[in-house]
Structure 1
Amino acid sequence: MTGRVLVLGGTAEARRLAERLVAEGVDVLSSLAGRVADPVLPPGEVRIGGFGGTAGLVAALDGVAALVDATHPFAATMTAHAAAATAATGTPLLRLQRPGWTAQPGDDWRWVDSLEQAATAVAGARSVLLTTGRQGLAAFAGLSAHCVVRSVDPPEPPLPARATVVLARGPFGVEDERALMTAHGVDVVVTKDSGGPMTAAKLTAARELGVPVVLVRRPPLPEGVPVAATVEEAAAWVLRRSGTTRPPATPSRP
């Protein structure tokens, strides 16, 4: 493989993948959506902003030898554009996506398929911790419960009428999460199945406090796209194609 690797990023895994590939001498261009005001930038060249849909991404793939979609598990639109653009250009595509969470003994999880269903599920709560990101809060605007909204940047309106906004960047420890829930009398947590250890402390804290968690399921991935569950597996996929190394790991298919 000759040419650069385009990494659609914004996640910790995307940053670690860029670090690994740049260290191996791979020409990496990381693309960030620009939704966070002060993102942690990966090594190598970085572009910030959207592509303008599938057509724009097709144009951006000129000179790109491979694309790794390492966006958030809920960035369904970008993932769909990546699948369509690479299919149109014949560019090799890999999806890097961390596994979802698995319930532990003592967890009280209620699964839903959308933020709207999550809002319905917590309609009778007194105090709700919302950790679903700042862009989907309109689904909860009609709640009468006290809502603790945690976000890296100020959330976009409309917000619930009784909202307390907590601006903070994780990762958070279990003690931090337990203190937050206790201070606000949280009786239910709403989150997305983001997976990974960096945001899992709230699940442990909720289990220890006996607080139920409403979890939004991930959107389905496009059919036929190979998936790597770890940075190491994704790096191996790229490096095999560059001839740099021949590690044994092989991405699985969903």
Structure 2
Amino acid sequence: MLPSPSHVQLPSHPPSLRPSSPASLYSTSYSYYHLSDSSPSPTGNSPFANHSPSPPGNCSPSTEPSTAQEYLQLGIQYHEANKLQDSAFYFEKSAKEQGGCGVGMLMWGLTLRHGWGCEKNEKSGFKWLTKAAESAVDDLGKAREGMDVKAVRGSTDIFLPQSELVLAIYEVGQCFFHGWGVTKDHKMAISYYRVAANLGDADAQQDLAFCLANGKGCKKDKKEAAKWYRAAVEQGASDVGMAWIYKDKYKG
């Protein structure tokens, strides 16, 4: 079961796995790896049954991938090379092989949600994003108990599952905000944005601030909105045109 936003208790400010860049509530091309808008269009039905990816550029694996983490790394290479059908092939394997890995589930969910190299399926994408969050909660619990997370998912760093959880929670919030694979619910979106924002995610901080400033799914609260905008700016977000957030009446 996906963790309730109000019951996720984690340390704040985990290291970000994403490059810093302003978030856009209305972007339909949001990417964990920020592909350009010139990315190839979806290819339609793509079961990958007989698909044999060609090496991305000069990056040819020395051995065949055999673990979810290895499939993930290949998926990332293809994704960054803009070979989306190939990246989708490996992200799906990373999400499913040997129980899958959380980041693989996250990337497969985003791939399905936006139709990157496969048939667009927002409902299935939402399912995989929630599974990514559940996976990260499980991994984080094991890491805190001193168990070998690497044996389960491929990571021994407690901050990796924590960061993975933040990313997944934010993306679930995006699904609720836009109605991607789930009934649109701005109030629920804010619940997830708030959790991710409290955990230090700059994109979530900006999106939560936007909702608060504009009364999207909540009562307008420009003072709290300013607080979250300032928090995002501290992490490198742009404050161009945002002079109002520094006014005394919006501080304290």
TM-score normalized by the length of structure 2: 0.24
Which structure: greater helix fraction?
A: 2
Query: Taking CA–CA contacts closer than 8 Å with sequence separation of 6 or more, which of the two structures ends up with the larger relative contact order?
Result: 1
TM-score normalized by the length of structure 1: 0.24
Which structure: greater strand fraction?
A: 1
- When Rg is computed on C-alpha atoms for both structures, the one with the higher figure is 1
